[in-house]
Amino acid sequence: MAGSVKVLKRPGTEGSYVRAASKGLGVTLKHMIRPYKVTQQYPDEKWELAPRLRGTHRMAVHEDGRAKCVGCGLCPTVCPVNCIKLIPAEDENGERYAAIYEIDEFRCIFCGFCQEVCPVEAIHLGVHYENAEYSRERWVYDLERLTELEHPYTALWDPADPTSQ
């Protein structure tokens, strides 16, 4: 039974370390000369984000500052994690609007279905990911907060390659 064990031949002890050590130092020197940086100084330097990154929601507004949402209820219907709460009502002009519109960003999985399904292009995901909060309640964004955000909207498709070829 011992005969089936394969014994690897190890390198001899007579070789010098100098060759291997210089090779390693060579890599170090190469990186010292080349101005190629991996580490990013994050809070001071921000990432350049892809236009299709799906992050924090934003609500589009009309010129007069009203949210574009018509309260149709398609986003809470399509939302796979039920993170959107919508109660529609009738405004003074008899139009349907969202009396209460809340998105729980903590529960959201950022699938982007709400943006895809919105018939009036009101709710968007945004190119934005920095949303730390001191309390969980603050993660539920109401309509006022969603309309005040200013980061760019997520693009639903790559502008350079609209058909995803």
Binding site residues, other proteins, CB under 8 A: 70-74, 77, 88-90, 94-96, 119-120
Residue 56's closest CA among 129, 132, 154?
Answer: 129
Distance (Å, rounded) from C-alpha 28 to C-alpha 108?
44
Smallest gap from residue 56 Cβ to other proteins (A): 24
The residues facing 88 across adjacent strands are 98
Smallest gap from residue 101 Cβ to other proteins (A): 14
Distance (Å, rounded) from C-alpha 159 to C-alpha 67?
26
Smallest gap from residue 40 Cβ to other proteins (A): 43
| Identity of the residue, 20 or 87, whose beta carbon is nearer to other proteins in the bound complex | 87
| Identity of the residue, 74 or 127, whose beta carbon is nearer to other proteins in the bound complex | 74
Distance (Å, rounded) from C-alpha 140 to C-alpha 146?
10
Smallest gap from residue 72 Cβ to other proteins (A): 4
Look up tokens 């001191």; give the residue: 134
| Identity of the residue, 11 or 119, whose beta carbon is nearer to other proteins in the bound complex | 119
User: Residue 152 corresponds to which tokens in the numbers above?
Assistant: 């760019």
| Identity of the residue, 55 or 71, whose beta carbon is nearer to other proteins in the bound complex | 71
User: Residue 119 corresponds to which tokens in the numbers above?
Assistant: 């018939």
User: Residue 156 corresponds to which tokens in the numbers above?
Assistant: 């639903």
